[in-house]
Amino acid sequence: MSDDAMDGLCVRECQRCPALVESRSRIVNGVGPDDANLLFLGEGPGANEDEQGEPFVGRSGSVLDDALREVGLARADVRITNCVRCRPPENRDPTKEELGNCRGYLERELELVAPDLVVTLGKVPSEHLLDRSVAVTKEAGDVVDVRLGDRSQRTLVCVHPAATLYDGSQKETFFDAVAKAADLSGLADGGDGQSSLGDF
Ligand code: URA
């Protein structure tokens, strides 16, 4: 798909999905370093993200921030983006067609950032990248190589941070997957939440 509509890593204007154009108040692009080693991929913006123009700034975002902090990382150390960049009405899942409409933007972002590892947060992003049905709770922590155009992208399956809010047993699964992701992408500090002395 053409990504002519992109300005670097950002989509400035898009009218491909009539229902999302109607429900969004803005396009929510990815945030974080344009050469990040580690990229977290969510489903799509919710109400908070739509309002603030940044992915994962609501309660799910706080869970993600907590897990990152636990392994000594800050949100600014990683890239965070979504499969679709506009808020679906009533927070429904994006449709196959909407995911397809936004796919070129995501592939372009992944190609430019070229992270060592992508972490798929929940069922929708996991199935979108792996192109098969995924039992996220069972497969969380699994690492697979995903073919994107002529690239192979190392990807770690993870549950959505919101899952930890309604099912406490998912918290360990989520935090363990984030710790593994930090480790695999060379960003881990040993898991004590402190910077190493070498940083000073
Ligand atoms: N959930 C997502 O999947 N993405 C966000 O940006 C926020 C919540």
What domains does the chain contain, in order, with CATH numbers? 6-28+38-185 (3.40.470.10)
CB atoms within 10 A of CB 180: 20
- pLDDT value, residue 3: 58
Ligand 1 site, residue 82, Cβ cutoff 6 A: yes
Low-confidence ranges of the chain (pLDDT < 50): 1-2, 191-200
The tokens of 166 are what? 């309604």
Q: Which two tokens stand for residue 135?
A: 């039992």
Whether ligand 1 lies within 6 angstroms of the CB of 30 is answered as: no
| Burial class for 78, CB neighbours closer than 10 Å (0-12, 13-18, 19+) | buried
29 lines ligand 1 (CB under 6 A): no
Task: Tell how far the Cα of 199 is from the centroid of ligand 1, in angstroms.
Answer: 31
What pLDDT shows up at residue 190?
52
- Closest CA to ligand 1's atom 8: 56
32, 80 contact by CB (below 8 A): yes
Q: What is the pLDDT of residue 4?
A: 66
Whether the CB of 164 sits within 6 Å of ligand 1? no
pLDDT of residue 158: 98
